[in-house]
Amino acid sequence: MKPDTIILHHSLTKDSATASWGAIRHFHVDVNHWDDIGYHFGIENMRGQTEILAGRFPDKQGAHCRGHNSNSIGICFVGNFDVDSVPAKAWTAGIELCRFLVKQYGIAKIIGHGELNPHKSCPGKNFDVDRFRTEVLR
């Protein structure tokens, strides 16, 4: 797989204290019976600490956005950003991760899942995708 797009998601879960990256992986693998978690990376803010977590390898097709999995890297911010604000440390980690991926793969397009599927709010109503794109690509 040669990714040309980054697709941003949120987990729509209350917070990382109640639904971790491991819980999302468990749901995708054990409940949905997928090979692995659907995303390539996760960004989790737990007890003030932010981590970038590995999902599928970037050269493997994801399972995060129907019709766009074969050419995109999926990044999931753990939390519900329809209700909450994105923690500053998670925002910064996302910017740094995306800058690396843009440079590594020559990616020119960063979009929210909701821009491709109007039934999804990803990465959340309180996540300013335009500002995020601008910060990554400057």
Domains delineated in the chain: 5-137 (3.40.80.10)
Please say whether the beta carbons of 6 and 110 come within 8 A. yes
Instruction: Kindly tell me the burial class for residue 36, based on how many C-beta atoms sit within 10 Å of its own C-beta (0-12, 13-18, 19 or more).
Output: middle
Q: Between β-strands 5-10 and 109-112, what pairing exists: parallel, antiparallel or unpaired?
A: parallel
DSSP string, 88-100: HHHHHHHHHHHHH
pTM of the model: 0.93
> What is the pLDDT, as a whole number, of residue 15?
60
* Stretches in the chain below the pLDDT threshold 70: 15-19
> What is the pLDDT, as a whole number, of residue 99?
97
